[in-house]
Structure 1
Amino acid sequence: MKRMMMAAALAVAGTASAPAQAATYSYDDGARSVGIAGTGPIGQSFAMIGTTLSSFGFELQTVNPTGNDPLSFTLYDGEGFGGIALKQISISAPDNALRTVFWQDVDLGGLSLTDGRIYTAALGTGTTRLAVRYGPGTTGTVDAYADGRLLTGTALPTSNRSCTAGLCDANFRFTSTGTGPIGAVPEPASWALLTLGFGAIGHALRRARGTRRARRLV
């Protein structure tokens, strides 16, 4: 009986303390591009999901055939380029052919952030070779990512009405880890295990009380 109660308790404890898994969140809503050097820095504000940021990436495109200066990646606290720089990394993009579209991810090594807080990821470079892909189109009316927006050091042309209306977002993605067991909401399968574990404990306790009553009657 004691073994049953211990096993049920361990099953419940093991379910509740399962480590949080890393997840990748990707937002890709456009095929347009804007040069980093010409309007840089170029960034994207976003709402953090979880508490540990493992990586952040932009979808880039080569728009000129020559030059491949390093990229500078900066993560700012808050929306815009005026917040505290939480992380700064220099990276080298691959020497791709003209018009190549690719993802450039930056390894952040598990940066501790605040769940739900707004941050800004930005790229800068001295080369005119690379551009950031973004959307929607010039006259788009739908904001695909409401928690943030595309940010540029130099204003985009007023003819780009979707961006001047605040609807544009970079094609970006990030990988993060959630808040862990404290405050976590179990998956449906976990709820089933929890219910089974508590039921086993309750059944064992009822049997123990029944055995004690029988002994007293004898």
Structure 2
Amino acid sequence: MKRFIVAALAAALAGTAAQAAEFTPVQGGTAAASFASSGPFEQSFVANAGLLTNFAFTFATTNRTATTSTVTFSLFTQNGDTALASQTTNLSGLTFRTLGGFVDVFAGSVALTAGTTYRAVLSSDSSSLALGYNNASDAYAQGALTRRSNSDAACVAGSNRCDANFRYSVQPIAAVPEPASWALMLTGFALVGGAARYRRRATVLRYH
């Protein structure tokens, strides 16, 4: 009986917990653009509903000896001027003119609205940091990488051909248990408590 109650409670609570979903709209791009000459950068994307918990990009260095740097990530709505989140990250292990794997530049919790366009903005004062992107085709049709300099033939404003390598994670917002689920849980707790009291009483009688 107790096992059944515990199983029922677990089932009732299962709807309130959900795994974070990871999305990688663009990866594998081998081009890199310097923050010093073309930054800041912004990558627009259409959100999935939930809590944004992570955002990552790929980076390289244009200086053999400069293997560390800092970058600031800020999140905006498509037309908004107020940052929904902002975080500065210290980068290390940067490789010369070679993009490394994804590096997390944001970890937190920001509510996103499904179907809404957001802008992930990256800025850096580094003279050697470069951002990885894909310039072979329109790798991500729902957004684009915007650069301060539009002189690059692969990233002319309006062509929408460039997209940064980027990845992000969204945690579904837990649903509030239905009244019936709450009733089941409360009943289950009461029954478990009653079973425990009965077991203790039976133990006392056994030794008498």
Fold match by TM threshold 0.5: yes
Counterpart for residue 76 of structure 1: 76
- 1:110-150 Cα deviation digits (max 9, x unpaired): 1122222111111111112111111132xx4xx22111110
3-state secondary structure, aligned to 2:126? coil
Counterpart for residue 22 of structure 1: 20
Q: Runs of 4 or more off by more than 6 Å in structure 1?
A: 6-12
Counterpart for residue 103 of structure 2: 104
The alpha-carbon distance between structure 1 residues 169 and 97, as it changes in their structure 2 partners (threshold 3 A), is closer
How far the C-alpha of 1:11 sits from its partner, in A, is: 8.2
How far the C-alpha of 1:40 sits from its partner, in A, is: 0.9
How far the C-alpha of 1:30 sits from its partner, in A, is: 1.8
- Identity between Structure 1 and Structure 2 (%): 31
Mean Cα displacement is larger for which, 30-39 or 82-91? 82-91
What runs of 5+ residues in structure 1 fail to find an aligned partner?
1-5, 183-218
Matches within 5 A, 1:1-218: 13=12, 17-26=15-24, 27-67=26-66, 68-78=68-78, 83-102=81-100, 103-137=102-136, 140=137, 143-157=138-152, 159-160=153-154, 164-181=158-175
Q: Distance in 1 between matches of 2:19 and 2:51?
A: 11
The alpha-carbon distance between structure 1 residues 122 and 8, as it changes in their structure 2 partners (threshold 3 A), is closer
AA aligned to 2:89 is I
How far the C-alpha of 1:14 sits from its partner, in A, is: 5.2
Q: Distance in 1 between matches of 2:155 and 2:146?
A: 15
How far the C-alpha of 1:22 sits from its partner, in A, is: 0.1
Q: How many residues align?
A: 173
Q: For the Cα contact (< 8 Å) 1:66–1:129, is it kept in 2?
A: no
3-state secondary structure, aligned to 1:21? coil
The alpha-carbon distance between structure 1 residues 95 and 74, as it changes in their structure 2 partners (threshold 3 A), is same
What runs of 5+ residues in structure 2 fail to find an aligned partner?
177-208
Q: For the Cα contact (< 8 Å) 2:135–2:155, is it kept in 1?
A: no
AA aligned to 1:21 is Q
AA aligned to 1:115 is A
Q: For the Cα contact (< 8 Å) 2:73–2:88, is it kept in 1?
A: yes
3-state secondary structure, aligned to 1:25? strand
The alpha-carbon distance between structure 1 residues 38 and 131, as it changes in their structure 2 partners (threshold 3 A), is same
Counterpart for residue 188 of structure 2: none
AA aligned to 1:178 is P
TM-score (normalised: structure 2): 0.70
Q: For the Cα contact (< 8 Å) 2:71–2:105, is it kept in 1?
A: no
Q: Distance in 1 between matches of 2:155 and 2:78?
A: 25
AA aligned to 2:125 is G
Q: For the Cα contact (< 8 Å) 2:22–2:170, is it kept in 1?
A: yes
Q: Distance in 1 between matches of 2:109 and 2:130?
A: 27
